Amino acid sequence: MSVGLLGGTFDPPHAGHVHVSELALNRLGLDRLWWMVTPGNPLKQRADMASFIDRLNAARALVRHPRIDITGFEAATGSAYTADTIAFLRRRYPGTRFVWIMGADNLASFHLWDRSDDIMRRVPVAIIDRPGYRLAAWASRTSIRFADAYVEETDAPGLKSIRPPAWTFLTVPLSSLSSTALRGSMVNAA
């Protein structure tokens, strides 16, 4: 089985997340996609973040796709680091082919993630285009460092079967939705 992993705070979850998930399922030929709602992101402020349970419940209320699962298991692993989560999943589901899915905005700053090189060497990675981040993603330290592991977008359906490091960049119809902007509009409306 092949499973896409879309991690995030989902604060709040929105139609853009669903859009990206459906595109990843189709373009990568995945069997399932798991939203991994994290209890906290080490690179983000937690003070104004909705509670983990509220974010998890909001994601479950939003998603109605039969192949997208909303998970909160990362809270039980005791770590908010993606490298630890991937190691946990590979031990727990040894026969599953995982693909890490993230936006181009994350690739631009991926070198700041804990053990980012380790993540690239453990699972194939699919980068989803985001408005305003395409050039920064392509010029990122990670894309340059792993340039020889790039998989052409036309070969993206095979990404799940390629031994890492392997990554692709998916150009998709762009959505301007962002959790940050939605939080800001909710604060302004209050």
Q: How confident is the model at residue 80 (pLDDT cuts 50, 70, 90)?
A: confident
The CATH number of residue 159's host domain is: 3.40.50.620
Give yes or no for residue 67 having a pLDDT over 90.
yes
Residue 180: the pLDDT is: 55
List the beta strands (DSSP E) in 28-172: 32-37, 68-71, 97-103, 125-128, 167-170
Where would I find the H helices in 46-128? 52-62, 74-77, 82-92, 104-108, 116-122
The pLDDT mean for the chain works out to 90
- Residue 183: which residues within 8 A CB-CB, separation 6 or more? 11, 12, 48
pTM score of the predicted model: 0.88
Q: Average the pLDDT over 96-119 and give the result.
A: 96
User: What total of structural domains would you count in the chain?
Assistant: 1
Q: Average the pLDDT over 102-106 and give the result.
A: 95
Percent of the chain beyond pLDDT 90?
Answer: 79
pLDDT in tens, 163-187: 999 999 999 876 555 545 544 554 4
Tell which wins on pLDDT, 25 or 186: 25
Give yes or no for residue 46 having a pLDDT over 70.
no
Residue 44: the pLDDT is: 66
Tell which wins on pLDDT, 152 or 73: 152
Tell me the residue range of the domain where 88 lies. 2-189
What's phi and psi for 163, nearest 5 deg? -70, 130
